A and B are shown apart, each in its own frame.
Chain A
Amino acid sequence: MSDDSAQLVDAVRYARARQQTLAIAGLGSRAAVAPIADGAVLNVAEHRGILRYQPEELVVTVRAGTPVREVIAELARHRQMLAFEPTSFARDGSIGGMIAADASGASRPFAGGVRDALLGVEIINGLGEQGRFGGEVMKNVAGYDVARLQCGARGSCGVLLSASLRVAPIPDCERYIRRALAVDEVCAAMSELRSREPSLTGLAYADGVLQVRVAGSEPAVKAASARIPGDGGDSEFWRQISRHAHPNLSSPPASGGTLWRVSSAPNAPLTGDELLVDWAGGVRWLALDSPPRQATSAPGGWAMAVGGNRAGSIRGLDQATSDLLSRVRLAFDPDSVFAASSNDARGEAKAVQG
């Protein structure tokens, strides 16, 4: 538990005055999607601790360097959890990194992601100013939503100092169902389940098997498992994908090439080359020799390399959005104090040209 905010503010001001660039670093666990950039390291990992947590308010406020695991453990003591499912890599990550990388797991289509649970943040912008946006209340439309903007921004819109996140009761009951399914039936099966099962928290497909997870109150889960065809499974598959530890998600892929995470419309047709399908069809993992094009053509579709020498680079941004992202970044960091990794979304134009 320590408050490093004054030192961090000083460091940003110092760097700005000397026209140096800073690479924001938490626990360094997410190099596969957000490699730490070139520049003097601004270490946020020591700025840690749970600042406020009152279970009946359904909100926890934590410093950005706090390990996600520590927060989860504290919430669990009160039978609560983060209101979304955070993902990690082999090592534990920080709350700041989780937000910056928008690390939302399998329950994203059903319970929402990091951005849906983020209520407020404290940041240091590139001018070395400390500001507070959003708050700890559930509903708040005062001022622009600078808090949620930070999700996926990978530090481009400031250094995260603390965040207020919505929490939820841990469901009484969780069950797992699996059944073999041909790839051409997957999208239909997933959308059919999505449109009639209210207790889903996971819908994935790998190695010819449809994986279903339901959670909630005991009666709800019981009713759902009676309706969903298949055999009982276990939590291991879900634990593996939430930690990127499933064998099909290894990087580099066993089959060669680069591992790509493609975000798409959930019922866009599958090609059969997918290593794993998550988010009820909304995320597809592929091993590719060159960046995907076809997969990102649907409205809002995009892709990111996970690991390898393109780690964290993004495809599928159109020029207008890319320009807009650049201008938004400059609104927070007019002198470009915060360094971009060469693969970062901040190399927006580069990403478009591919």
Chain B
Amino acid sequence: MTTPLVLEMLRANLPAEGLITDPKAIKPFESDGLTAFSAMPWVVCLPDRESQVAAVLRICREHSIPVVTRGAGTGLSGGALPVAKGVLLVLSRLNKIKRIDAQQLTAVVEPGVRNLAVSEAAASVGLFYAPDPSSQIACSIGGNVAENAGGVHCLKYGLTVHNVLGVRGYLMTGEPVAIGGEAFDVPGADLLAVVHGSEGQMVVITEVTLRLRQIPRSKLVMMAAFAVVSNAADAVADVISAGIIPAGMEMMDKLAISAAEDFVGAGYPKDADAILLIELDGDVDEVQANRTAVERVLFAASADSVVVAESETEQARLWLGRKAAFPAVGRIAPDYYCMDGTIPRKAVAGVLQRIGELSQRYGLQVANVFHAGDGNLHPLILYDANVDGELDKAEAFGNDILAACVEAGGSVTGEHGVGIEKLDAMCGQFGRIELEQFARLRAAFDPDGLLNPGKAIPTLTRCSEVGGMHVHAGELPFRHLPRF
């Protein structure tokens, strides 16, 4: 079948203006949130009904055309980077909140619904959707599932995988699948968990059943300032050891504090080496009791000052600096490169010191903003892409940070996903056996590897080239397996 005929078939199955073929109109879709990478897809499909998704997949399967699914395009690892000659399937028009069920504490939504829109819609019945990635104003639920998105409240409320009861969607064959639903568990092996973080390589999701929670009766935010970074890191472990699980526990270092303060004036102490932001929520008396306990722990860990925000306005101001940290850093350097490693809490001080040493060695500044309670680091490496070699230097620096995370017993990505960005880093975290197992698992969903090829899991060949894995005499076992 010739290309024009495939185009006609796609057009016949999509709404008016649902098929974009003009390169000028395709251009805005060439990157997601990781703009260092771009690629022009063959066409962009914008279905506005579920049946159209199935049709697009069937047509592409028949003609062996790769398909990359995209939501709002806010992902930070290039997971929605188009494949040249492939179809970019954009689900942003599937954006209906089908149902908020106050009795069952669930919301049934289409994948293009924005994350924040769910909490906004549920607020009138006293409920909210807990995962809150920093892009929540723009990012959509389908992408949240694909990347297993996190946010600042994971410590208490978990990641996306902990807050989804079911998904419906289509395999690459166009065959419908429904995994989970309104019940709390699924029969047999947990396929619902596997779909989370699979970066659009298993199922194209058309409906998600979300778990909602009651809005806490009381909430307060504390800010502690420290003269020594390692004391702040120790304080994080001390709060946990005291038996308290805050809703969120965030840390910022000196450069991040100063950038955020200059940008939004959140009231952060610019002379501090580190600050901790701690959010407590629950019943009124419980929050007050925890506040006393946390204050005691913070001062015992040598905090210089502790500020408590009780009013909503004060709380919002303290959070504002943290939430604006990325753009704030963007103001002090032409470019920055955001990392996403996770480490055990006990390793925080050591890894931060290592990052400091690497910063000296590479001659690049780094600002640290992170989810301290989860051990999820977001070092922001500052560089100037217009200076020859700085991007390469920043990438090498980043890979060294991720290697330090893996060495400390952590992971190369906590919530941003592997996408196209961390394929090399994956070679350091996994060996041949795991990578081949991932490949076979993916093939169980998509035997031809047409969904989002080239992302998430590196090929053995790639790993042998970056030297992260040893392949004897170039022999790759299980040659019959699809490689991606």
Interface residues of A (CB under 8 A from B): 54-59, 79, 102, 104, 108-109, 112-113, 115-116, 125, 129-133, 135-146, 148-154, 156-157, 168-170, 172, 188, 191, 194-196, 198-199, 216-220, 222-224, 263-268, 279, 282-283, 298-302, 304, 314, 316-318, 320-321, 324-325, 327-332, 334, 345, 348
Contact = CB atoms under 8 A, between A and B. Distances in A.
B164 to A, nearest CB: 11
B286 A143 contact: no
A314 B189 CA distance: 12
Given A108-B184, A144-B197, 4 more contacts: A139-B375, A142-B411, A156-B189, A331-B443
Chain B, interface size: which category? Answer: 35 or more
B64 to A, nearest CB: 20
B51 to A, nearest CB: 16
Would you list the 7 A-B pairs with minimal beta carbon distance, nearest first?
A: A300-B181, A299-B181, A219-B285, A148-B193, A265-B182, A153-B189, A139-B414
B179 interface: yes
Interface of B: 102-105, 125-127, 147-148, 150, 154-155, 158-159, 161-162, 165-166, 171, 175-191, 193-194, 196-198, 209, 214, 216-217, 237-238, 240-241, 243-245, 282-286, 288-290, 342-346, 371, 373-376, 409-418, 422, 426, 429-431, 433-434, 437-438, 440-445, 456-457
Given A195-B126, A300-B166, A328-B441, A135 B409 contact: yes
A331 B440 contact: yes
A277 B209 CA distance: 23
Given A137-B344, A145-B196, A168 B245 contact: yes
Contacts of B433: 125, 129-131
A130 B184 CA distance: 31
A111 B237 CA distance: 22
A131 B409 contact: no
A199 B283 contact: yes
A139 B191 contact: no
A330 B196 CA distance: 20
Nearest to A190: B103
A294 to B, nearest CB: 15
A152 B240 contact: no
Given A136-B344, A299-B166, A345 B283 contact: no
B411 A137 contact: yes
Contacts of B374: 137-139
B413 A142 contact: yes
A217 B290 contact: yes
B187 A317 contact: yes
B62 to A, nearest CB: 19
Contacts of B209: 299-300
18 contacts: A125-B433, A138-B155, A138-B373, A139-B150, A140-B413, A141-B159, A141-B411, A142-B413, A142-B426, A145-B196, A146-B438, A148-B161, A152-B190, A168-B245, A222-B285, A223-B285, A266-B182, A302-B187
Contacts of A314: 187-188
A165 to B, nearest CB: 14
Nearest to A320: B177
Given A58-B240, A130-B433, A143-B426, A220 B286 contact: yes
Contacts of B180: 300
A113 B154 contact: no
Contact of B283 (A195, A219, A268): A219
Contacts of A79: 243
Contacts of A151: 189-190, 193
Contacts, number: 291
Nearest to B188: A345
A139 B127 contact: no
A331 B346 contact: no
Contacts of B150: 139
B410 to A, nearest CB: 5
Given A136-B344, A267-B104, A321 B286 contact: no
Contacts of B175: 320
A223 B285 CA distance: 8
Contact of B444 (A115, A320, A324): A324
Contacts of A57: 237, 344-346
A169 B147 contact: no
A300 B411 contact: no
Nearest to B125: A195
A69 to B, nearest CB: 22
A263 B196 contact: no
Given A135-B409, A157-B189, A216 B286 contact: yes
B343 A220 contact: no
Given A141-B414, A301-B181, A198 B282 contact: yes
Nearest to A283: B184
Nearest to B342: A137
Given A199-B283, A299-B181, A316-B187, A55 B241 contact: yes
Contacts of B429: 142-143
Most buried by B among A132, A195, A301: A195
Contacts of A268: 182
A217 B289 contact: yes
Contact of B184 (A195, A219, A263): A263
